[in-house]
């Protein structure tokens, strides 16, 4: 039998009570109001309970069609059914356009009214469920949901929190796998754009000749194969936040178009002659030093300074080593629950190996290591034997290398290469570029130094 709360607003007491009685027999809880004022007051007090409002169109103190926005404002997740003694097609069309669930004529079949109410209740429940899920997803992407309390992480959070409500462009700088997208999502959730679209684009994931059309869209006939108009990701993010990961991968021509978007909130699609206007907040991320690339002519200087309105350095895991134990414990419990494993904790030796490891892949690497270890582990404690092969030998803590006092040129070169590799997240081409040597030379030195 159905359950849920309905609100009937009608000045005709006999009819209102008859409808209420009929719906109560169907299993619903029914509230009643004789006019718009008391109906709105009741709705405001019981907005969390009321699933459907049945309102007469002609009330002593209001017109039902004009009251629709006020009903929706009081209970945005409720469905509205309008009842009228004399229905007209124009009023019916207007009611549907303004968001009414249905527009019914009084005196029609009681069975029809029950069916319509049942459908409206089902839709209202679905809307509430979607809203709950959106709230849960949003809660997973907040600053409060970030795991860790290290000084480096707390400082990055402090800066990002300051930037979030401003609407300004934010540039997140940090190595691959450090969690830059998590920061972008948290900024979005703490911004005025919260509740609007969050669109993430990895610029390195698209072929360069397709990225422009994906971002900006195109008009039918703009090129061979453009058989219909296509809305770009910029339009998809309208009103919300566009997150451009690895923005350093953008071609210079695309960078020029993005500069115009930042300056005017307008762009022109491929094959179009008129500009498209959007309202988008941009958050960008990079694992490169864009300032150096701009100075070298590999990135537009004007775009860099528009992006770097507010820069947030996102620390790699080696910079927040104090967070390794709590992250490891979180991932262990997460994958144990997901995979049905009896694992409950890590042995101290295994935890120490994780703490000492050189996390070139950052949090992403730690997550992958724990997932693999949970799959392989037996019993309720994860041991060093469950960790990958590179953990089975003692590794000096990168923060306090054994040769810290060795100041020979060879040792200092080894330390510098290791440091740059860590900062670039293991990206050897980028490391070679920053070190000012060829990639082949870097590979030779890695083999020579056992790195």
What is the reported pLDDT for 140? 64
Residue of 295, 312, 315 lying closest to 304 (CA atoms): 295
What is the reported pLDDT for 368? 93
For residue 45, is pLDDT > 60?
Answer: yes
Summarised one tens digit per residue, pLDDT across range 280-338 is 999 999 999 999 999 999 999 999 999 999 999 999 999 999 999 999 999 999 999 98
Summarised one tens digit per residue, pLDDT across range 408-446 is 777 788 888 888 887 776 777 788 888 888 877 887 788
Write down the H helix ranges in 227-289: 233-236, 252-264
Summarised one tens digit per residue, pLDDT across range 361-383 is 999 999 999 999 999 888 889 99
Q: How far is CA 386 from CA 250, 278, 336, in A?
A: 41, 51, 14
Question: What DSSP string runs through 177-223?
Answer: TS-HHHHHHHHHHTSTTTTS-EEEEEGGGS-HHHHHHHHHEE-TTSS
Which tokens belong to 183? Answer: 């920061």
pLDDT averaged over the chain? 86
Cβ atoms < 10 Å from Cβ of 107: 9
Percent of the chain whose pLDDT exceeds 90: 45
For residue 392, is pLDDT > 70?
Answer: no
Rounded CA gap, 239 and 320, in Å?
35
Summarised one tens digit per residue, pLDDT across range 247-277 is 999 999 899 999 999 999 999 998 888 999 9
Pick the more confident residue, 135 or 447. Answer: 447
Which tokens belong to 175? Answer: 């190595």
pLDDT band, residue 397 (cuts 50/70/90): very low
75 touches 128 (CB < 8 A): no
124-144: average pLDDT? 72
Among 1-10, 197-206, 342-351, name the one with the lowest average pLDDT: 1-10
What is the reported pLDDT for 451? 72
């Amino acid at each position: 039998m159905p359950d849920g709360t309905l609100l009937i607003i009608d000045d005709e007491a006999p009819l209102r009570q008859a409808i209420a009685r009929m719906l109560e027999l169907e299993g619903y809880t029914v509230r009643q109001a004789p006019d718009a004022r008391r109906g709105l007051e009741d709705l405001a007090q019981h907005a969390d309970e009321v699933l459907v409002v049945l309102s007469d169109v002609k009330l002593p103190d209001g017109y039902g069609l004009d009251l629709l926005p006020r009903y929706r404002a009081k209970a945005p997740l409720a469905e509205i059914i309008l009842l009228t003694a004399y229905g007209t097609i124009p009023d019916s069309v207007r009611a549907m356009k303004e968001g009414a669930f249905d527009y019914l004529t009084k005196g029609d079949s009681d069975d029809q009214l029950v069916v319509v109410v049942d459908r409206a209740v089902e839709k209202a429940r679905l809307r509430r469920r979607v809203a709950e899920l959106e709230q849960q997803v949003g809660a997973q992407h907040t600053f409060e949901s970030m795991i860790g309390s290290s000084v480096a992480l707390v400082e990055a959070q402090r800066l990002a929190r300051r930037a979030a409500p401003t609407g300004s462009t934010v540039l997140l700088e940090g190595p691959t796998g450090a969690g830059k997208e998590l920061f972008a999502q948290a900024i979005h959730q703490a911004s005025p754009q919260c509740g609007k679209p969050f669109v993430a684009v990895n610029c390195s994931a698209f072929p360069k000749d397709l990225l422009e059309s994906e971002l900006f869209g195109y008009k039918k006939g703009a090129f061979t194969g453009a058989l219909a108009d296509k809305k770009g990701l910029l339009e998809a993010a309208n009103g919300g936040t566009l997150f451009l990961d690895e923005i350093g991968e953008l071609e210079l021509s695309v960078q020029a178009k993005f500069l115009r978007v930042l300056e005017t909130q307008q762009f022109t699609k491929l094959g179009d002659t008129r500009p498209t206007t959007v309202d988008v907040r941009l958050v960008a991320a990079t694992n490169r030093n864009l300032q150096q690339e701009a100075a070298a002519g590999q990135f537009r200087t004007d775009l860099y300074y528009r992006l770097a309105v507010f820069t947030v350095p996102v620390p790699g895991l080696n910079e927040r080593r104090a967070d390794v134990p709590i992250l490891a414990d979180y991932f262990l419990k997460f994958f144990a629950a997901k995979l049905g494993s009896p694992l409950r904790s890590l042995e101290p030796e295994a935890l120490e190996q994780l703490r000492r490891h050189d996390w070139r892949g950052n949090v992403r690497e730690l997550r992958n290591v724990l997932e693999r270890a949970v799959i392989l582990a037996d019993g309720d404690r994860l041991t060093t034997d469950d960790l990958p092969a590179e953990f089975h030998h003692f590794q000096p803590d990168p923060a306090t290398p054994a040769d810290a006092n060795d100041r020979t040129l060879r040792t200092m070169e080894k330390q510098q290469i290791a440091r740059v590799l860590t900062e670039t997240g293991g990206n050897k081409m980028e490391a070679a570029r920053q070190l000012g040597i060829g990639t082949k030379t870097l590979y030779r030195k890695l083999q020579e130094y056992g790195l």
